């Protein structure tokens, strides 16, 4: 078990010490093996212990471990930016590196503000985001996030955003609405909010393309983001998509928004960008955003010590080369379809599984007390927490969440296995998850 000097996320539990990773497995100091079905928080997209990434890290560390970006760039940073620019759609061609997804959101919001300042559009400072969203745990990212329980302790410290409803068809579409009708209705809330607060004050709209932790792998309905794009363009507002969790190939395309037929002005990346081998995130913006700064003040008014860290860039570059060389985006699509079918076979008729959803290898099941009414379990039961504990005892790592419906009630279980997961491993994950669900639900 862990010692007493590390401040853990929970001070009430003693954690086992992880000592090794092998593919989809993590191994603790006692030799117990755990099937990592969630990649921690959808991070470990290549599994654990990939020799090519480890080799790239060792080589880079021995050759050049750190430079300050005020003095130098590196070939690793430049090459990785080329890889990212080649894979992102449209004019998303300029890359700013961070050390995490939260930092990427901070940088993206600052970039949006500076874009408008460079154009002498000074009043534009508001961000409109969505309820049931999560964009990170730094104060700026919390301010732009719609997760009430995460925000609550820090409300006096954060700059508040304005919020509209999420695009969450399972819970919020009307009975007689088609998916497209629902998507247009909920997207139009953005226009309503812009008019309400004054278009001259709004600088950006921020959303997760596929909602991750707060609601559990919720994809947008067809046409939703195209309507959002139209509204942003009409009112001169930047569209920022948070793909820290769902991007970098997690849904089967490099950016999840490619499947929605839209290109944002700014997109944030993290997690799968470096697959957990090194901390790294990124902000990618269009040439239009870049040129506003390049022909204005010519300096991004932001910076951090480990921006474009050479070892992080080398690790991420190795990860992206493996994804490309092994055709793993295609594997994500195939394995995602397989996982969806397995979940449907196991839980499709389960009386307490209300919805099975997601894209690619970002999928979830939502647990409900009543399938007909979609009513959640009493939140005091803490079903999602019980599921995590039970699964862990069985040797399965899952990513559960509470507050699925309204930030307070509702339970879901998120799965995010590695891109190179085998069919046999997928079957094992769903079998073990089925045992956990049966064990923790009220009789």
Statement: residue 157 has pLDDT above 80: yes
pLDDT average, residue stretch 196-212: 98
Domain ranges of the chain: 18-49+328-440, 54-325
Q: What is the pLDDT of residue 2?
A: 52
The SS3 call for residue 296 is coil
CA distance linking residue 217 with residue 209, whole number of Å: 10
Mean pLDDT over all residues of the chain?
96
Q: In whole angstroms, what separates CA 358 from the centre of its chain?
A: 12
Reported as a single tens digit per residue, the pLDDT across 413-430 is: 999 999 999 999 999 999
**Exposed e or buried b for every residue in 211-245, given b needs 16+ CB within 10 A?**
bbbbbbbbbbbebbbebbbebbeeeebbbbbbbbb
pLDDT > 70? residue 221: yes
* pLDDT of the residue at 67: 97
Residues in the chain: 443
**Cα diameter, the chain:** 66
The answer on pLDDT for 340 being more than 90 is yes
Q: Say if residues 202 and 170 touch (Cβ distance below 8 Å).
A: no
CATH of 54-325, one of 3.40.950.10, 1.10.287.610, 3.20.20.210, 3.40.640.10: 3.40.640.10
Q: What is the mean pLDDT of residues 246-264?
A: 98
Class of domain 18-49+328-440: alpha beta
Q: How much of the chain, in percent, has pLDDT values that exceed 70?
A: 99
Closest of 331, 355, 332, 339 to residue 404, by C-alpha: 355
**The predicted structure's pLDDT at residue 428:** 98
Q: Is 322 left (phi over 0), alpha (psi -120 to 50) or beta?
A: alpha
Residue 222 has pLDDT above 90, yes or no: yes
Tokens (6 digits) for 219:
């994809």
* Helices 383-394, 423-440: inter-axial angle, 10-degree rounding: 130
Contacts of 355 (CB under 8 A, 6+ apart): 170, 365, 366, 368
Of 413, 412, 410, residue with least CA distance to 380: 410
- Distance (Å, rounded) from C-alpha 138 to C-alpha 364? 26
**Three-state secondary structure call for residue 440:** helix
CB neighbours of residue 193 within 10 Å: 17
How confident is the model at residue 147, as a pLDDT? 83
The model's pTM? 0.96
pLDDT exceeds 60 at position 325: yes
Per-residue pLDDT, averaged over 366-395, amounts to 97
Alpha helices in 88-159, H assignment, sequence order: 101-118, 139-143, 148-151
Q: Is the pLDDT of residue 1 over 80?
A: no
- Half-sphere exposure (CA, 13 Å, Cβ side) for 94? 15
pLDDT in tens, 17-56: 999 999 999 999 999 999 999 999 999 999 999 999 999 9
Give burial (CB, 10 Å; 0-12/13-18/19+) of 51.
exposed
Q: How far apart are CA 405 and CA 177, in angstroms?
A: 19
């Amino acid at each position: 078990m862990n010692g007493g000097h590390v401040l853990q996320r929970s001070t009430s539990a003693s954690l086992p010490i992880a000592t090794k990773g092998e593919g989809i497995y993590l191994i603790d100091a006692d030799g117990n093996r755990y099937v990592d079905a969630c990649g921690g928080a959808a991070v470990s997209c290549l599994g654990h212990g990939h020799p090519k990434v480890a080799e790239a890290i060792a080589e880079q560390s021995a050759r050049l471990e750190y430079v300050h970006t005020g003095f130098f760039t590196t070939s690793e940073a430049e090459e990785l930016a080329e890889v990212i620019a080649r894979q992102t759609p449209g004019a998303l061609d300029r890359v700013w590196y961070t050390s995490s997804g939260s930092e990427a959101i901070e940088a993206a919001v600052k970039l949006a503000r500076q874009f408008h300042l460079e154009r002498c559009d000074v009043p534009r400072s508001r961000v409109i985001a969505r309820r049931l969203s999560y964009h990170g745990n730094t104060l700026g990212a919390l301010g732009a996030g719609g997760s009430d329980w995460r925000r609550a302790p820090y409300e006096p410290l954060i700059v508040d955003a304005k919020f509209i409803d999420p695009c969450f068809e399972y819970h919020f579409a009307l009975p007689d609405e088609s998916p497209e009708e629902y998507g247009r209705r909920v997207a139009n809330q953005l226009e309503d909010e812009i008019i309400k607060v004054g278009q001259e004050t709004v600088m950006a709209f921020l959303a997760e393309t596929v909602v991750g932790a707060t609601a559990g792998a919720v994809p947008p309905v067809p046409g939703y983001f195209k309507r959002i794009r139209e509204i942003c363009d009409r009112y001169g507002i930047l569209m920022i998509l948070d793909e820290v969790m769902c991007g970098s190939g997690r849904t089967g395309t490099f950016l999840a928004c490619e499947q929605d037929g839209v290109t944002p002005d700014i997109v944030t990346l993290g997690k799968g960008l470096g697959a957990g081998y090194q901390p790294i995130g990124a902000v990618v913006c269009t040439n239009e955003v870049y040129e506003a700064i390049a022909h204005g003040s010519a300096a991004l008014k932001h910076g951090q010590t480990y921006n474009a860290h050479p070892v992080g860039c080398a690790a991420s570059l190795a990860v992206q080369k493996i994804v490309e060389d092994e055709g793993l985006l295609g594997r994500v699509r195939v394995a995602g379809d397989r996982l969806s079918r397995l979940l449907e076979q196991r839980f499709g008729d389960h009386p307490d599984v209300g919805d099975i959803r997601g894209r690619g290898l970002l999928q979830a099941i939502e647990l409900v007390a009543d399938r007909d009414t979609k009513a959640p379990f009493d939140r005091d039961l803490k079903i999602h927490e019980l599921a995590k504990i039970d699964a862990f005892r069985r040797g399965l790592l899952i990513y559960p969440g509470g507050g699925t419906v309204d930030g307070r009630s509702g339970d879901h279980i998120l799965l995010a296995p590695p891109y190179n997961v085998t069919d046999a491993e997928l079957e094992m994950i769903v079998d073990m998850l089925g045992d956990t669900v049966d064990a923790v639900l009220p009789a």
